């Protein structure tokens, strides 16, 4: 088969002062008609760079240093801008990672889609409208007539991504580039969008270049796979070859870091004869927005009658999709948010109503590790100050607190030299280690990890999870682990609680919940995990595309 | 315009009236706290300083009454839409202000439109030519006008264009002694308007230019701009259709601030160019300790700020669909 798109010896130079000279160097691959080619790699691997080069969307400071991108007999690298524009959005189109920001907030959906027709065709406004409506139907948006007039903020993330897909496929391009299009979506939405892309790709015989970091997604949709490491293409092959028999050590390492979906057998703690370190009873929290003299605001029940116990030495997973209230629960528990009603009992004392000085001694017994390793450390303070601040606030002498910070750095496997350096000098994984050290500085009994690993690359994730597990055992911690990634939950949690719209729909032993889920929502969550059959332990065969459980 | 918007406006209007009442009381005390006695100023100008005459003046204007009583009278009158009589001209305050209003609105309105158009245009050009020479030129010019005091600029402009070059009149609104009518009159006022409007508008032109430039550059880094480019759109069209509209949102806020000063913001300019507007009126009233007139001007200026705050918020909701009232 003649390739549709041919990337040959492509090298892209980074501006001076970057961590390496080339964003990508000497990359070669073809895209065949009607295939889905997955480009996989961790952040900084340069996997999006080729896509941007194909689309002519490289930032002004970065330019192609060498090589060609042949499409339809033209070299896109040297093609005149005017002619490249005629291809863009027409023959080659692209969808992006962040559906929340990829649409113009001030323009109606219909106008944004029909712009594509306006640019590339001579259609009348009536024709444009008809075609736009048909597209919205094609991508499965509810009530397309109404969608036409809607603004982006009125749509959910999944719906916006459907709009993006409609826009990209408007003129039936021969190549669709998808840059992590499902990464920002919930697992059930992700499954739907993947299915949609696959269906449309089949229907129109589009060639898709799909950029992702998630091997589950690769297992779900890829025909062929390209693996990138630090700008170099380390492996290329069919999906089954790469997933089940990876040749390059980097690919092997990446795949080994993907947690299998089966929960390991765990020694169940005899909980009946122990007292929980943390008990949450009938917790409620509602948020109301808007509202004024003349209008009633919108009320959202974020936490709706939630109760659970947490024991020392165990990890309790709080899983659910965005908006399920799992983070709100964790914030209420550490008293960053005030709950409306219910009881939070820490070591025998109810703490839900305590304030100021009365609460302070309890604060150090329950500590949190935050999601964003970049935003959660004060950039103007040294690592030492960040770690020591808490104990000092609790009355420890600065000297002792610093000595303790050194110990803690060793505990989280960071060099003592980190003490006098600032957060920006560290990678995401290292910063998350600092975040953990900061939380542990108080010698807490309970550690609350709110999506503490979701911003990290998969190989770094594995390291941080190991660290938390080790520390839990060593310090006999109780860990409340808020997580949306079910693969991770299966690996690290002794018990899980599944939340949906503020309510607990299912809870129990992790293995039991994963093997025989009772609630329909839990079942749909598990069924939506991309590549669920791959590396499920019992079945190493390539997956059969599965229908989403509605 | 839905019922929701009308309800919102009604609610804001009620709040606005309360705010104005508080402002009126505050203004009253502010003026009384300033040193000086209107009776003495008037008596001084009349050449008489005897106690009896002063007492007579005080009684005439109610200045001999206790302060709380004066406040009560003032607020009570205000609630009946009565701003009182000026001490000096012996005219109703409201009539005098309305008499001067057109001149001020012409000046400030011209400055407003001029600065908004010129500022946004300069900002767009600077952003489109980011890091090229037009950007540097506009940025430097904007910084200079931003940093230069208004009165100094006014004096230098009149020195250059009126005294040395003799292109433009340096003061007043119309040529003294001429009795133009029709287009001649429009032309005459237009020529007189150039210097004061330009002086008054330059500061805000600079502010708008800087704001538009920054906002455009920031907006052009957003994801949806990349989406627009990926559609195959021409850069100029991306700039106009996607970047500009989003970038103008913060400019609307600033424009609302400037619009609030349409009445009270031209004191310096009107004084330097002897423009017969409200700013001059206020300036004179200040020296004459004409309490009623001053309170009237203050009140109208405050009302304008409250009104334009409301208008800005409504405009915001029209241009940005994400904002719900």
In a domain, B278, yes or no: yes
Tokens of A213: 């970091």
- B234 reaches A (C-beta below 8 A): yes
Give dist(CA A388, CA A407) in Å, integer. 11
Closest CA to A480 of A288, A291, A283: A283
By CB neighbour count within 10 A (0-12 exposed, 13-18 middle, 19+ buried), where does A420 fall? exposed
Check residue B269 and give its pLDDT.
84
Query: Domain of B135: which CATH number?
Result: 1.10.3720.10
Residues B235 and B123 in one domain: yes
- B232 reaches A (C-beta below 8 A): yes
**Digit-coded pLDDT (tens) for A453-499:** 888 888 888 888 989 999 999 899 999 999 988 888 998 899 999 99
Structural domains of chain B, count:
2
Residues B197 and B252 in one domain: yes
Residues B175 and B245 in one domain: yes
Identify any residues that bridge with A341 across adjacent strands, giving them in sequence order: A284
- Could you tell me the pLDDT band of residue A538, with boundaries at 50, 70 and 90? very low
**Digit-coded pLDDT (tens) for A337-384:** 999 999 999 988 999 898 888 998 999 899 999 988 888 999 999 999
Query: Are A85 and B223 within 8 A, CB to CB?
Result: no
Residues B177 and B284 in one domain: yes
Kindly list the residues from chain A whose CB atom is less than 8 angstroms away from the CB atom of residue B246. 104-106
* Confidence check: pLDDT of B42 > 80: no
Distance from A91 to chain B by nearest Cα, in Å? 10
* Confidence check: pLDDT of A261 > 80: no
Tokens of B6: 């009308």
Give dist(CA A509, CA A518) in Å, integer. 12
Check residue B188 and give its pLDDT.
86
Check residue A330 and give its pLDDT.
94
Mean per-residue pLDDT, B289-307: 87
In a domain, B90, yes or no: no
Query: Are A103 and B7 within 8 A, CB to CB?
Result: no
In a domain, B106, yes or no: yes
Query: Are B227 and A164 within 8 A, CB to CB?
Result: yes
In a domain, B325, yes or no: no
Which residue of chain B is at minimal alpha-carbon distance from A177?
Answer: B230
- Could you tell me the pLDDT band of residue B91, with boundaries at 50, 70 and 90? confident
> Judged by CB atoms within 8 Å, which residues 211-230 of B form the interface with A?
222-224, 226-230
* Confidence check: pLDDT of A296 > 70: no
**Digit-coded pLDDT (tens) for A201-252:** 999 999 999 999 999 999 999 999 999 999 999 999 999 999 999 999 999 9
* Confidence check: pLDDT of B124 > 90: yes
* DSSP conformation class of A223: S
Residues B47 and B112 in one domain: no
Give dist(CA A24, CA B90) in Å, integer. 83
Check residue B183 and give its pLDDT.
84
CB A30 within 8 A of CB A1: no
Residues B142 and B15 in one domain: no
Which residue of chain A is at minimal alpha-carbon distance from B321?
Answer: A106
Average pLDDT across chain A, whole number = 88
Give dist(CA A514, CA A496) in Å, integer. 9
In a domain, B158, yes or no: yes
Residues B159 and B272 in one domain: yes
- Could you tell me the pLDDT band of residue B82, with boundaries at 50, 70 and 90? confident
Give dist(CA B21, CA A242) in Å, integer. 76
- Predicted TM-score (pTM) of the model is 0.82
Residues B159 and B296 in one domain: yes
Residues B172 and B234 in one domain: yes
In a domain, B85, yes or no: no
Distance from A206 to chain B by nearest Cα, in Å? 17
Residues B73 and B138 in one domain: no
- Give chain B's radius of gyration (CA, Å): 24
Check residue A544 and give its pLDDT.
38
CA-angle at B227, arms to B222 and B231, nearest 5°: 150
Residues B193 and B233 in one domain: yes
Residues B43 and B130 in one domain: no
Average pLDDT across chain B, whole number = 86
CA-angle at B200, arms to B197 and B202, nearest 5°: 100
Instruction: Give me the residue from A93, A96, A294 closest to B11, CB to CB.
Output: A294
- Give the per-residue SS3 of chain B: CCHHHHHHHHHHHHHHHHHHHHHHHHHHHHHHHCCCCHHHHHHHHHCCCCHHHHHHHHHHHCCCCCHHHHHHHHHHHHHCCCCCECCCCCCEHHHHHHHHHHHHHHHHHHHHHHHHHHHHHHHHHHHHCCCCHHHHHHHHHHHHHHHCCHHHHHHHHHHHHHHHCCCCCCCCCCCCCCCCCHHHHHHHHHHHHHHHHHHHHHHHHHHHHHHHHHHHHHHCCCHHHHHHHHCCCCHHHHHHHHHHHHHHHHHHHHHHHHHHCCCCCCHHHHHHCCCCCHHHHHHHHHHCCCHHHHHHHHHHHHHHHHHHHHHHHHHHHHHCCCCCC
| Percent residues over pLDDT 70 in chain B | 98
In a domain, B313, yes or no: yes
**Digit-coded pLDDT (tens) for A90-123:** 999 999 988 889 999 999 999 999 999 999 999 9
Domains, chain A, in order of start with CATH, read 313-338+349-528 (3.40.50.300)
Domain that holds residue B38: 3-79
**Digit-coded pLDDT (tens) for B177-228:** 777 778 888 888 888 888 888 888 888 899 999 999 999 999 999 999 999 9
Check residue A126 and give its pLDDT.
94
In a domain, B224, yes or no: yes
Check residue A537 and give its pLDDT.
47
Mean per-residue pLDDT, B128-142: 90
Highest mean pLDDT among A369-378, A481-490, B113-122, B286-295: B113-122
Give dist(CA A347, CA A531) in Å, integer. 41
Instruction: Give me the residue from A94, A98, A292 closest to B230, CB to CB.
Output: A94
Distance from A177 to chain B by nearest Cα, in Å? 11
Mean per-residue pLDDT, A531-546: 53
Mean per-residue pLDDT, A405-427: 90
């Amino acid at each position: 088969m003649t390739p549709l798109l041919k990337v040959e010896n492509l090298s892209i130079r980074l501006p001076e002062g970057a961590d390496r000279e080339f964003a990508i160097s000497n990359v070669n691959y073809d895209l065949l008609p009607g295939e889905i080619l997955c480009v996989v790699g961790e952040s900084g691997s340069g996997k999006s760079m080729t896509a941007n080069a194909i689309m002519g969307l490289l930032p002004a400071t970065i330019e192609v240093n060498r090589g060609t991108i042949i499409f339809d007999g033209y070299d896109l690298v040297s093609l005149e801008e005017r002619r490249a524009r005629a291809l863009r959005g027409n023959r080659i189109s692209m969808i992006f990672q962040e559906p929340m920001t990829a649409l113009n907030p001030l323009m109606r959906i219909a106008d944004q889609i029909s712009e594509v027709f306006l640019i590339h065709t001579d259609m009348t406004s009536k024709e444009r409208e008809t075609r736009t409506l048909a597209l919205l139907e094609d991508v499965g948006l509810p009530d397309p007539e109404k969608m036409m007039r809607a603004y982006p903020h009125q749509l959910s993330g999944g719906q916006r991504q459907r709009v993006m897909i409609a826009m990209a496929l408007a003129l039936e391009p021969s190549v669709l580039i998808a840059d992590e299009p499902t990464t920002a979506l919930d697992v059930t939405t992700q499954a739907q969008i993947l299915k949609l892309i696959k269906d449309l790709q089949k229907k129109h015989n589009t060639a898709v270049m799909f950029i992702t970091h998630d091997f589950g997604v690769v297992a779900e949709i890829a025909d062929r796979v390209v693996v990138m490491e630090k700008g170099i293409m380390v492996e290329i092959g069919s999906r089954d070859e790469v997933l089940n028999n990876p040749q390059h050590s980097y690919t092997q390492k990446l795949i080994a870091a993907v947690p299998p979906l089966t929960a390991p057998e765990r020694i169940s703690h005899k909980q009946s004869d122990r007292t929980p370190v943390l008990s949450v009873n009938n917790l409620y929290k509602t948020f109301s927005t808007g509202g004024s003299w003349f209008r009633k605001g919108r009320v959202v029940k974020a936490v709706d009658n939630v109760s659970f116990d947490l024991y020392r030495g165990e990890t309790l997973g709080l899983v659910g999709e965005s908006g399920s209230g799992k983070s709100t629960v964790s914030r209420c528990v550490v008293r960053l948010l005030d709950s409306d009603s219910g009881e939070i009992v820490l070591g025998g004392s109810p703490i839900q109503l305590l304030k100021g000085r009365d609460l302070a001694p309890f604060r150090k017994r329950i500590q949190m590790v935050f999601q964003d390793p970049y935003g959660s450390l004060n950039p103007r303070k040294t690592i030492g100050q960040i770690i020591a601040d808490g104990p000092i606030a609790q009355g420890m002498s600065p000297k002792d607190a610093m000595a303790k910070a050194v110990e803690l750095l060793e505990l989280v496997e960071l060099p003592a030299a980190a003490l006098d350096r600032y957060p920006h000098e560290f990678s995401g994984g290292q910063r998350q280690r600092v975040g953990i050290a900061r939380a542990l500085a108080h010698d807490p009994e309970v550690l609350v990890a709110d999506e503490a690993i979701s911003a990290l690359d998969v190989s770094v994730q594995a390291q941080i999870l190991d660290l938390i597990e080790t520390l839990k055992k060593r310090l006999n911690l109780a860990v409340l682990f808020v997580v949306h990634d079910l693969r991770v939950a299966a690996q690290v949690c002794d018990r899980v609680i599944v939340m949906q719209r503020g309510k607990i729909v299912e809870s129990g032993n992790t293995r039991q919940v994963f093997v025989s889920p009772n609630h329909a929502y839990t079942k749909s969550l598990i069924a939506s995990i991309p590549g669920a059959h791959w590396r499920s332990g019992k079945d190493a065969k390539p997956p059969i595309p599965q229908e989403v459980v509605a | 315009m839905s019922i929701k918007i009308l309800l919102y406006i009604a609610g804001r209007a009620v709040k606005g009236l309360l705010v104005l009442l508080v402002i009126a009381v505050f203004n009253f005390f502010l003026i009384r706290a300033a040193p000086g006695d209107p009776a003495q100023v008037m008596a001084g100008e009349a050449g008489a300083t005897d106690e009896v005459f002063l007492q007579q003046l005080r009684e005439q204007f109610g200045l001999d009454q206790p302060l709380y009583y004066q406040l009560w009278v003032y607020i009570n009158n205000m609630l009946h839409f009565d701003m009182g009589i000026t001490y000096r001209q012996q005219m109703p305050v409201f009539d005098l202000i309305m008499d001067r209003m057109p001149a001020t609105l012409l000046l400030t309105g011209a400055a407003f439109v001029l600065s908004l158009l010129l500022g946004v245009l300069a900002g767009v050009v600077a952003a489109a030519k980011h890091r090229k020479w037009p950007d540097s030129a506009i940025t430097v010019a904007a910084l200079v006008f931003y940093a230069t005091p208004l009165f100094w600029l006014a004096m230098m402009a009149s020195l250059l264009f009126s005294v040395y070059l003799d292109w433009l009149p340096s003061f007043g609104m119309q040529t003294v002694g001429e009795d133009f009518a029709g287009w001649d009159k429009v032309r005459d006022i237009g020529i007189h308007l150039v210097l004061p409007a330009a002086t008054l508008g330059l500061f805000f032109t600079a502010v708008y230019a800087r704001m538009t430039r920054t906002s455009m550059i920031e907006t052009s880094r957003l994801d949806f701009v990349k989406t627009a480019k990926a559609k195959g759109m021409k850069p100029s069209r991306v700039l106009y259709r996607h970047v500009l509209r989003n970038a103008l949102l913060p400019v609307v806020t600033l424009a609302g601030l400037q619009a609030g000063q349409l009445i009270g913001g031209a004191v310096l300019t009107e004084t330097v160019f002897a423009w017969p507007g409200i700013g001059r009126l206020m300036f004179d009233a200040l020296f004459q300790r004409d309490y009623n007139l001053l309170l009237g001007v203050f009140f109208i200026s405050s009302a304008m700020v409250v009104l334009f705050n409301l208008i800005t918020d409504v405009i915001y909701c029209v241009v940005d669909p994400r904002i719900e009232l």
